[in-house]
Structure 1
């Protein structure tokens, strides 16, 4: 098939060049944005008197028919036509004749693909925002269910202080709040309309870029034509958001892998979200968590690849920028899968309350509270720390935990110890005593639940606002 740009050339391109140059295998997913953008462009050309109104009507009707064919699976994408733009334009001209050849007036594939990517980004941001919101809701639901479920908190993967499972889930809830905020920033970066920038220097035709922007629900228009066609900041911003989100999901995945092990036994995944072994019949593997943990590195790679691609490019468009799509598309698919599957996995997961409570009562995570007990009796914290350290060493030597040591034994380390120390050592007391803002106290959890509900309401309103601007 003749190239739409072939007038300058006397030879057909080599088949390998066609295959290497083509992007249709992956950019065909932009078909909806490409056709919608072309409809807006054709309408503007007709209204501005750049093409006949009759031709504008034919173009728009033809594009709508092509959209219906693609969605019905009745459209053949031709690799020799390189990309989604030329596939659509060639089929349009084939159907409606010379009117179709007017569609590309006053635009280049450079600003056309930029438009498609901006529109696609906005649609995907809205979809990801909805999935993110639903996962946040799931975390808050689980947290509320386990407001008083005690568990060990860890530093250095060593038991540190008693907390609640609710407090642990709220930590991830807070991480995702920040991810939602970052995602809104991605939308802002994508909400700029590049069409009308042409290949590099705009056009000599009297176009109305703001008319197209309004038709396509863009908040603003690129003020510089060179920046419009070469900007990929919004893709880098998305990949940065995706990398941070996946890092958070990977941390949660690591904990679920640990918690679901026999050694911990804190949670059990629903059978629908676990797999077995082809050899070992007893196995129940947390494959979803392992895959999310593994795919995180893949998303990081897409960010590094895009940064590397863009770092040495002179203005404006270079074919290198075709590499902006595959990693971007894959990151979108990975993020959407992760959020969707994790929501249901978390909601169906069984939390072994008794196992967690048993764990937190058979360790030395109440040692800090014993030091605080001495501080309240008047001992400076550093001295209290040393006294309790000696108590812990003594308990370990005796094969006991702190609540199992008698008051007489404690007295040999400090006369400040009294019978009320046993209350201070109870895990539930250790948790409830930590009422500082952001702490794990049961009463503090209640406050954080209320704040979480408000956050979700604000995010829901913002999501609806984004959806209204698509």
Structure 2
């Protein structure tokens, strides 16, 4: 095997080639500039593989000890920056083998027996993502905590609920904030479901056909924190479902954050004025001194595009690829690295923004009944009087039309006008024409009344505690 070419660069292939690759090919092939972050996971896999080789009688105890010590030393050197990839290293695997050869000489070359970069990188990426998925979960929980704490303070704060960005019906602002927590809980559930499917070890599949050496893929899988070895060696090296699915989850998280961001932009606008951001989580203008901009919320909207784009890029790359490994699959890593880094930046900023924002209770309460938002209360009141809802809807619509023409509120209509509109309307309808009565009447589970919101709050807090325990679990051995 050609371990090093004439320039001294380590290469993991080349025995049948008369010379080195053209510069254009080398520049196109190199991936170490982004896959170097897999180095700690590659070293974890290498330790497990060394033990399996020893178990198969392919390394004696002394050789195993020397290799494990060298891998530990290389790991420390990578962590401190003492060992770094060079421009000649094609990928993370090449760089680390160079480091091992520098420490062990030809003994370092024994570690490659029974594995290929194909099963190696698939294993590394699963380890990386299973590790970092929990980091994303921790940050999601922090944002959910911030929303939940604000919701707890605003259970009794009335707000004008919107449909089509038009005033619809009064709601509790705490209920509104908790509505943004629910998709985050679903995101956490998706991450855990994903983790169960990603917990399969490809190591031992080789390039595509497995190995003729007496290896033990089950032992490797157990040591690396996986549930089982891959059942099919060809699928193991070809499968990138775990990448695409992870990117779907992060893209959907991005969509949820974008929707939250858009609402914060609205809430903080002069037209709404429902929320004021803390100075530490807002920015100003280089020309307009009065400006206070919700940049974090706007960046949440903007970054959803790159999260969605990463998913589309990987799905497009995978479409039509023949089994098993193809070099196209080098394009699977940058989108997931970018998704992880994007969420690691964005989620703490959003959590801080939400935790420190000031809710303008007075403005929300004043806006809650505006726009005839209590009209549905009148229709429901009529239904309780025995009026079919179709008729109740028409009667209430006529009442709204009268108020709109006179530029008055529902409660301002005289008793005589009520009777003119419908014989079913009488002065007792005014009992339902307050925001407080509208909220108090919502008693069914999941609705916006004080009781259901308090119940929802308790349930959300319990679920977040459950997710907190899962998110801090360590599944990747160190």
State the TM-score, normalized to the length of structure 1.
Answer: 0.97
Which of 370, 373, 383 aligns to 2:391? It is 383
Query: Does the CA-based 8 Å contact 1:50-1:206 persist in structure 2?
Result: no
Query: Does the CA-based 8 Å contact 1:435-1:444 persist in structure 2?
Result: yes
Partner of 1:371: 379
What is the alpha-carbon distance in structure 2 between the residues aligned to residue 454 and residue 136 of structure 1? 12
What is the alpha-carbon distance in structure 2 between the residues aligned to residue 133 and residue 76 of structure 1? 35
SS in 2 for 1:7: coil
Ranges in structure 1 where 5+ consecutive residues have no aligned partner: none
The alignment of Structure 1 onto Structure 2 pairs a total of residues equal to: 469
Partner of 1:235: 243
Query: Does the CA-based 8 Å contact 1:268-1:351 persist in structure 2?
Result: yes
What is the alpha-carbon distance in structure 2 between the residues aligned to residue 404 and residue 363 of structure 1? 14
What is the alpha-carbon distance in structure 1 between the residues aligned to residue 89 and residue 469 of structure 2? 43
Matches within 5 A, 1:279-318: 279-318=287-326
Query: Does the CA-based 8 Å contact 2:281-2:353 persist in structure 1?
Result: yes
SS in 1 for 2:427: coil
Query: Does the CA-based 8 Å contact 1:19-1:79 persist in structure 2?
Result: no
Compute the displacement of 1:406 (Å): 2.2
Which of 188, 191, 195 aligns to 1:183? It is 191
Partner of 2:4: none
Partner of 1:7: 15
What is the alpha-carbon distance in structure 2 between the residues aligned to residue 400 and residue 226 of structure 1? 73
1:467 pairs with 2:474? yes
What is the alpha-carbon distance in structure 2 between the residues aligned to residue 49 and residue 463 of structure 1? 39
Compute the displacement of 1:53 (Å): 2.2
Compute the displacement of 1:449 (Å): 1.4
Task: Give the alignment's Cα RMSD to 1 decimal.
Answer: 1.3
What is the alpha-carbon distance in structure 1 between the residues aligned to residue 156 and residue 126 of structure 2? 46
Compute the displacement of 1:2 (Å): 4.7
Report the CA distance shift for 1:76/1:455 in structure 2 as closer, same or farther (over 3 A): closer
What is the alpha-carbon distance in structure 1 between the residues aligned to residue 393 and residue 134 of structure 2? 51
Which of 113, 121, 127 aligns to 1:113? It is 121
Compute the displacement of 1:333 (Å): 1.2
1:25 pairs with 2:33? yes
Compute the displacement of 1:101 (Å): 0.8
SS in 1 for 2:371: coil
Partner of 1:147: 155
What is the alpha-carbon distance in structure 2 between the residues aligned to residue 403 and residue 48 of structure 1? 86
What is the alpha-carbon distance in structure 2 between the residues aligned to residue 172 and residue 185 of structure 1? 21
Compute the displacement of 1:133 (Å): 1.9
Structure 1 stretch displaced more, 90-99 or 311-320? 90-99
1:70 pairs with 2:78? yes
What is the alpha-carbon distance in structure 2 between the residues aligned to residue 217 and residue 76 of structure 1? 27
SS in 1 for 2:421: coil
1:249 pairs with 2:257? yes
Compute the displacement of 1:469 (Å): 5.8
What is the alpha-carbon distance in structure 2 between the residues aligned to residue 14 and residue 2 of structure 1? 16
Compute the displacement of 1:255 (Å): 0.5
What is the alpha-carbon distance in structure 1 between the residues aligned to residue 313 and residue 458 of structure 2? 41
What is the alpha-carbon distance in structure 2 between the residues aligned to residue 367 and residue 199 of structure 1? 68
Cα deviation code 1:24-75 (max 9, x no counterpart): 0000011110111111111211122112222221111111111111111112
Partner of 1:413: 421
Cα deviation code 1:274-307 (max 9, x no counterpart): 1111111111111111111011011111111111
Ranges in structure 2 where 5+ consecutive residues have no aligned partner: 1-8
Partner of 1:270: 278
Query: Does the CA-based 8 Å contact 1:4-1:86 persist in structure 2?
Result: yes
Partner of 1:169: 177
What is the alpha-carbon distance in structure 2 between the residues aligned to residue 49 and residue 407 of structure 1? 97
Compute the displacement of 1:343 (Å): 1.3
Report the CA distance shift for 1:409/1:96 in structure 2 as closer, same or farther (over 3 A): same
Cα deviation code 1:227-246 (max 9, x no counterpart): 11111000111011111111
Partner of 1:84: 92
Which stretches of structure 1, 4 residues or longer, exceed 3 Å deviation after superposition?
none
Query: Does the CA-based 8 Å contact 1:18-1:79 persist in structure 2?
Result: no
Structure 1 stretch displaced more, 52-61 or 240-249? 52-61
What is the alpha-carbon distance in structure 1 between the residues aligned to residue 151 and residue 33 of structure 2? 44
Partner of 1:97: 105
Which of 172, 192, 215 aligns to 2:200? It is 192
What is the alpha-carbon distance in structure 2 between the residues aligned to residue 50 and residue 330 of structure 1? 39
SS in 2 for 1:388: helix
What is the alpha-carbon distance in structure 2 between the residues aligned to residue 384 and residue 468 of structure 1? 59
